[in-house]
Amino acid sequence: MKKALLCLAITLLSVISFAQKIPFQIKKSDVFKDEYKNSSIVLVEDDGKGGVVVVRSYFGGVFSSGSGYYFEHYDSDLKLIKEFEYEIKYSKVVKQSSVLGVIMDGDKVNIIDFIYEKDEKAYICSAMSANINDFNFTKKELFRVNSDEIKQFAFFTTAGFDGDSGASMIVNENRTAFAVTVDIKDRNAETHRMFVFDKSLQKNIDHTFKRDIKDRKFIYENIDVSKDGKTIYILGKVYTDEQKKKKEGGKYQYELTRVTADSEKTQAFDSDEHFVASLQPIIYDDRLACIGFYSDRKDYRFKGISYFELDPITLEIKKKKYNPFTEQFMIDKYGKDKDKELKNLSFRKIITNQNGDIIFNAEEFYITSHYYSAPNGGGYSRTIYHYDDIVSARINSNGEIVWARNINKRQATGGDESYISYTSTAVGNDAYFFINTGEKVKKLSNDRIQFGQTSTKKANLNIIRVNQNGDFDYQEILDNEDNEVPFMVSNGVQSGDSTFFIGRKGKKKQLLKVSL
């Protein structure tokens, strides 16, 4: 009887509030149906009145071609106020196209696209912009690059390009500015055109970045954009002849380049006797840091977390730390303190908390292939994508590990990974992880637990909290039996202290908001 009353309350109010050890509130939209089956949330923005604007990208399948965006304006109770569908269509002179991203400036939404116009013999980056009150879209050209300057893109052909070819858009953490980088054709030097705009589409930087080294010897790692949108930091992994002679550690160096409208400065640093497979730059407050995993034996076998802090203006190296995984972390992973390096760790997200500490999140990700023989001869192969343990560490302003935890998880899929993996966030000094599990949490040895497999047919939504001391607890917040749709937990999008998910079952869809 109590369960029936509770379900009735959920249906009527679409709000769940618990008196619980992990405080949260849940709100759901009404269940709805789209014309197109496949969609994902790309942006959630507060409307300043307690509601939100949700932007979802969609694409058709075998029987329904087309792609574009759904714009939905919801009130504070996730009741739909207004909606608009914008289908992406191009003229016949446009031979290739790609939407790079979406950014908002108050009530104005900007879709940034990159196309090749055959008649113009140019690649053109434009903003399709509209006010959310009328959705009357207009187009503005941001920049263009002559076709003979540019490399073929990955979506043009699968041959003859390196991993950083094409154009990409990077939005800074507080969504006040964005950069578009374009790989320029040059056999003898790594060359990129860098354009930086603020969210009102004012161009702050137009810069050609060039490194006099063969393209294949420069691995473009990442770039980050300053809060004011007037500085970008370009991180690259470079294989030089000098580094090749090293006797110990990785035979490469990292180079961080600071670019403004009228200056460029580069700082090189290496991993000494260690191996550092990749680094992620982060700008926050008045600090600039690069963080990643390191090994003592080879790339992709990880011993701990490396931390490099540089002066954001001069690029002087202020701190360099190699933190081995903590005893607690190894116990989480193996059930005892074990001197072992980890494999298959894949970076997921960097978050800063209210104290300015860094929360560095990753996942144990790898791919396996299996061949199955048929009774009458022949057979077929199946590729499995594994999303296993969650790795999380908190790094203080000295570059030292405050805590590191391994959350045991075993999940795999041969297709859609949207319902497995996780979404992470931080509120106050606590880190949070949202995951689905289709079964009861498994107990392991040494007081450990493990979250298991999930599917679209059974996906219970859980929240895991790691507090400022590194202690973690967890709680189921939505039972599969109480939901009409399972939620795509790996595609969560943050807005303030809330995380938004889209759920789907067949043609049914629903929006979920979890506030912490």
133-142, 197-206, 218-227, 447-456: segment of lowest average pLDDT: 447-456
User: Two tokens at 206?
Assistant: 């137009």
Section 66-88 average pLDDT: 90
Q: Tell me, yes or no, whether 347 lies in a domain.
A: yes
Asked if residue 514 and residue 428 are part of one domain, the reply reads no
Mode of pairing for the β-strands spanning 401-409 and 448-451: parallel
The answer to whether residue 488 sits within a structural domain is: no
- What is the predicted pLDDT for the residue at 255? 94
Same domain, 390 and 510: no
Residue range 3-31, pLDDT digits in tens: 444 443 443 343 333 335 899 999 999 99
What spatial distance separates the first Cα and last Cα of the chain, rounded to whole Å? 29
Mean pLDDT within 417-430: 91
C-alpha span between 200 and 103 (Å, rounded): 9
Q: What is the mean pLDDT of residues 412-438?
A: 90
CB 116 within 8 A of CB 166: no
Q: Which of residues 464 and 19 earns the better pLDDT score?
A: 464
Q: What is the pLDDT of residue 506?
A: 81
Going by pLDDT thresholds of 50, 70 and 90, the confidence category of residue 156 is: very low
Kindly state the average pLDDT of the residues 94-118. 85
Q: Are residues 369 and 430 in the same domain?
A: yes
Pairing type for strands 448-451 and 264-269 reads unpaired
pLDDT of residue 1: 45
Instruction: List, in sequence order, every beta strand (DSSP E) within 106-166.
Output: 108-117, 122-131, 138-146
Confidence of residue 218 (pLDDT cuts 50, 70, 90): confident
| 3 state DSSP class of 490 | helix
- E-state strands within 353-413: 358-373, 379-395, 401-409, 411-413
Q: 471 and 362 in one domain?
A: yes
Task: Tell me if residue 217 falls in helix, strand or coil.
Answer: helix
Q: 355 with 456, same domain? A: yes
Considering the domain architecture, whether residues 513 and 406 belong to the same structural domain is answered as no
Taken as a whole, the chain contains a residue count of 516
Cα–Cα–Cα angle for 394, 398, 404, nearest 5°? 20
Beta-sheet strands, E only, within 60-93: 67-74, 80-87
Same domain, residue pair 17 and 52 = yes
- Do 340 and 435 belong together in one domain? yes
Same-domain check for residues 396 and 511? no
Entry pTM: 0.87
Pairing of strands 80-87, 67-74: antiparallel
Q: How far apart are CA 149 and CA 116, in angstroms?
A: 13
User: Amino acid identity, residue 432?
Assistant: Y
In a domain, 500, yes or no: yes
> Is pLDDT at 468 greater than 50 in this prediction?
yes
Give the residue-averaged pLDDT of 231-244. Answer: 91
Q: Are residues 358 and 473 in the same domain?
A: yes
Say if 346 falls within a structural domain: yes
pLDDT at 2 over 60: no
For residues 352 and 429, membership in a common domain is answered with: yes
d(CA 386, CA 366): 5
Q: Is residue 400 part of a domain?
A: yes
Weakest mean pLDDT among 31-40, 266-275, 341-350:
31-40
Residue range of the domain that includes 15:
1-89+494-516
Compute the CA torsion angle 100, 104, 110, 116 (nearest 10 deg).
-20
CA atoms within 13 A on the CB side of 47: 19
Q: What is the mean pLDDT of the chain?
A: 86
- Is pLDDT above 60 for 240? yes
